[in-house]
A and B are shown apart, each in its own frame.
Chain A
Amino acid sequence: MEANPRSTGRLPAAFLTPGSSSFMDFLGDHAPEMLPGRRVLPPVKGVIEAPHGTTIVAASFPGGVVLAGDRRATMGNMIAQRDIEKVFPADEYSAVGIAGTAGLAVEMVRLFQLELEHFEKVEGAQLSLEGKANRLSTMIRSNLGMAMQGLAVVPLFAGWDVDREKGRIFSYDVTGGRSEEQGYAATGSGSIFARGSMKKLYREDLTEQQTTTLVVQALYDAADDDSATGGPDVARRIYPIVTVITEEGFRRLTEAESSELARSILERRLEQPDGPRAALL
């Protein structure tokens, strides 16, 4: 291979050849074995056991969008990790949360972050939010072979659209199918319960503070009914990761903020285990 990233000699010709602004395209030409989608898979019988991430939720509000995730990774009926991080900044104005095979998902996030950063550095401008969402689609599609063997990655992508000046949410299926969600969305094993919870609590005119509360309520409800989703772990001080993206850019709630949020919800649930109630009519 001509392309040895470990050598410190002259830059190989491929590095100086004018070409696309995409890091994935560059990898594909130069070091294809490093692309997750190009891997040759051995035939496998049954399902490969690997840690899975579970529930990610998102909701938009007039000034931005909130993306949050629980902290549990499971392998079968076992808890593989209690404090996994499944929500990451993709760049200054967007974030991605991942459900599915944790190892592959984290690799995909690294590559996605780099893809956006690389484009920005080469072109001197950011991709549009739509462009970013489409790029993620391509990456999921390239993972289809592994998804068929049970190693699926299903992300939720949220960001501030600088041109339209609003927060937007995109959800994906294993084939890379992308759909824009209005208001709120969830993915992962607890998503059915989280979605039901948000459906009853969501309003279009929520404030940022109310929206962060909403998503943590939804995660609590998901953990309540789905064993693969972890609730706030007060004993170990492990709380959901909550991120907010506004005009100002990406911000992750501090440990103190998310613990306060989770604790106040927990306190209310001690009195009312099923949480806040919506009006009947």
Chain B
Amino acid sequence: MGAKRINKSRRRFLKKSVVAGGTILATSGLKPFSVLIFAAKEPEDTLNPWYGIGIDIEKCIGCGMCAKSCKLENDVPQEPFYFRSWVEQYTIKNDGTIKVESPNGGIDGFSQSVPDNEIFKTFFVPKMCNQCAKSPCTQVCPVGATYESPEGIALVDEEYCIGCRYCIQACPYGCRYLHPEKKTVDKCTLCYHRITKGLKPACMETCPTGARIYGDLNDKDGELSLFLKKHNCQILKPHLNTGSKLYYNELSAEVR
């Protein structure tokens, strides 16, 4: 009797071990598939910078200097179809309808076409690459020409891009365009060539009101972290789960 019981319990133990072992093996085997889900990685090394951007909508006056300086700094074509950064003017009318405008990306400034008595509220929203942590653009690039820098900035290798434009389709924020001469995709790099030298991105350098800040999200005492602490910030299209690192304070629900 006793020997039988031992045998039974041994069999049970073996069964359980096999099941547990199998589960561990299957889980470890499945782990590589996570690469299929998200192209980008989380900041592994918290000692290195992990950049994000903050935009203080209350401070933006819609002067368009950010969009203008971006084009000049980064050789973005001057035609009104190509932007790494632009400004939108939102006007919510008393009847609830929304009017959005961005003539030439806001470079030439704005004029209000809605009569004052019809306006419920109006504000400016600067737009640029959201530098997503789970960037859909990086995910879809078939050759890896769009990649993420160690600092969490999505970049395009123009020597490698094949110009398929899948990344343009995948970006929910309309932040990419095909360069008309180079025939490769271009986008905001957060002025990578400047920030790696300790300079500010061009749009932030020229913003007269300091409405734009960028910084290291790992630095909890940094300017961006303080901005995030002080304000109730939101990102664009949060339901898409792109891991956007472009934070707006006082973002109105009408903004998309």
Say whether A and B bind each other: no
Residue positions of A touching B, CB distance < 8 A: none
Residue positions of B touching A, CB distance < 8 A: none
